[in-house]
Amino acid sequence: MMAAVACADTGDSVILLEKNEKLGKKVFITGKGRCNVTNACDRDAFFSHVVSNPKFLYSAYSQFDNEALMEFIEANGTALKVERGNRVFPVSDHSYDIIDAFKRALSKRKVDVRLHCEVKDILTEEYVDPEDKKAPSKIIKGVKLSSGEILSADKVIVATGGVSYPSTGSTGDGYDFASKTGHKLVASKPALVPFTTKEEWVTKLQGLTLKNVKLSLHINDKCVYSEQGELLFTHFGISGPLALTASSYYAKADEIKSAYVYLDLKPALSNDEFDKRLIREFENGNRKEFKNILGELYPQKLASLVCDITGLDPYKRCNEISGAERKTLLKFTKEMKITITGTRDFNEAIITHGGVSVKDINPKTMESKLVRNLYFAGEVLDLDAHTGGFNLQIAFSTGYLAGKSGYES
């Protein structure tokens, strides 16, 4: 939608081909139906939230950043507001108001929107640039639709999304178009997705949310992500903001021999401080059974499982707890180890890691380096970021740049 708008602004006559029955099916479900359309942070913060290929985005973001996007949406009739963490939403809290802003922009520019229109193939022909021997050897000719109809075009922009939530229409068609025309693909993996885990006790904690815990993800014994925040236990493993963000770094890892998450349940206390706290609790507990003081240290659901997980004797008197047993509890609390077995699949992934390799795309225009006048934009590219409005901003920035970049026929 953004690419079509920007393209129409250059004076081109534009056709937007959408295979669904309506526009913006994925946008509709974003931000739990409220659409976190961008993030009102500064430039440096924006790039710190991009997980894959941030440098590739410099040009696109400079030309159409979060402020430009917010201005565009408001100018097209949808008021925005900024919430916690600089997350930007429509004032109405309805994602369809974002889609409506785009519909108005498309209609103002007389973009020919064709729904139920699936592109089957990208059509190219041989091309020789007499002045530039390094120029691509192919040029775009148009597209072929599932109906068999052929549409000729001087320029084609592929903005078909990734493969996550395929029910919204993002089924990876763009990857086929790209590979058939010689572009390299980076293996696609689910990202911003919950983890599946090995230990049985994790699933027994389902429904428990831990706030202000620190999660560190270790892949092949190296820490690749560490952050403090909120974690949710589920019937298959772990989810919640911390796990989702960590999953993007898991997706980025090339070869995974081992993957663990370490949780620090009391990140505000050093090991020494927490040990002193334990000594205090055991002194106060005195002749109480160990299991009866655990509620002072952990949420109830977790407290009831501590002895099962650690092997500590629930009936031991507090004043009989040994130094070694205290150490076991300390380790459990400050370095709770969970084995990662994988992630949930694309049906539950907010974003797709991987896609069309950015090495084959000119970052200043979004044009393919292999096929003249063929452009790629959005999640179909090997770009992904944290939650918070960054992924939509990436789609809009790259879409804008692809749309406005010129072509020579």
Ligand X SMILES: Cc1cc2nc3c(=O)[nH]c(=O)nc-3n(C[C@H](O)[C@H](O)[C@H](O)COP(=O)(O)OP(=O)(O)OC[C@H]3O[C@@H](n4cnc5c(N)ncnc54)[C@H](O)[C@@H]3O)c2cc1C
Q: Which residues of the shown chain bind ligand X in the complex (CB under 6 A)?
A: 17-20, 25-27, 29-31, 35-36, 118-119, 159-161, 164-165, 169-170, 173, 350-351, 378-380, 389-392, 395
What is the closest distance, in whole angstroms, from the C-beta atom of residue 174 to ligand X in the complex? Answer: 6
CA dist., res. 213 & res. 334, Å (int)? 10
Please, are residues 161 and 169 in contact by the beta-carbon 8 Å criterion? Answer: yes
- Minimum CB distance to ligand X smaller for 25 or for 353: 25
What is the closest distance, in whole angstroms, from the C-beta atom of residue 384 to ligand X in the complex? Answer: 8
Residue 301 structure tokens: 């659901």
- Minimum CB distance to ligand X smaller for 156 or for 392: 392
Q: Which residue shows structure tokens 């493969």? A: 163
- Minimum CB distance to ligand X smaller for 161 or for 240: 161
- Minimum CB distance to ligand X smaller for 103 or for 334: 103
Counting DSSP H helices and E strands in the chain, the numbers are: 14, 21
CA dist., res. 260 & res. 221, Å (int)? 8
What DSSP element (H or E) covers 347? Answer: none
Please, are residues 51 and 386 in contact by the beta-carbon 8 Å criterion? Answer: yes
What is the closest distance, in whole angstroms, from the C-beta atom of residue 19 to ligand X in the complex? Answer: 4
- Minimum CB distance to ligand X smaller for 115 or for 256: 115
- Minimum CB distance to ligand X smaller for 31 or for 240: 31
Please, are residues 224 and 201 in contact by the beta-carbon 8 Å criterion? Answer: no
What angle do the packed helices 271-285 and 323-334 form, to 10 degrees?
130
CA dist., res. 38 & res. 185, Å (int)? 27
DSSP assignment letter at 96 = H
CA dist., res. 367 & res. 103, Å (int)? 25
What is the closest distance, in whole angstroms, from the C-beta atom of residue 148 to ligand X in the complex? Answer: 14
Distances in whole angstroms, Cα of residue 379 to Cα of each of 27, 50, 59, 71, 149: 12, 13, 17, 23, 26
What is the closest distance, in whole angstroms, from the C-beta atom of residue 300 to ligand X in the complex? Answer: 31
What is the closest distance, in whole angstroms, from the C-beta atom of residue 145 to ligand X in the complex? Answer: 8
- Minimum CB distance to ligand X smaller for 219 or for 380: 380
What is the closest distance, in whole angstroms, from the C-beta atom of residue 30 to ligand X in the complex? Answer: 3
- Minimum CB distance to ligand X smaller for 246 or for 395: 395
What is the closest distance, in whole angstroms, from the C-beta atom of residue 170 to ligand X in the complex? Answer: 4
- Minimum CB distance to ligand X smaller for 17 or for 261: 17
CA dist., res. 121 & res. 106, Å (int)? 24
Nearest-10 Cα torsion for 126, 127, 128, 132:
-130
Phi then psi for 70, rounded to 5 degrees?
Answer: -65, -40
**Number of neighbouring beta carbons within 10 Å of residue 256:** 11
What is the closest distance, in whole angstroms, from the C-beta atom of residue 352 to ligand X in the complex? Answer: 8
DSSP assignment letter at 151 = E
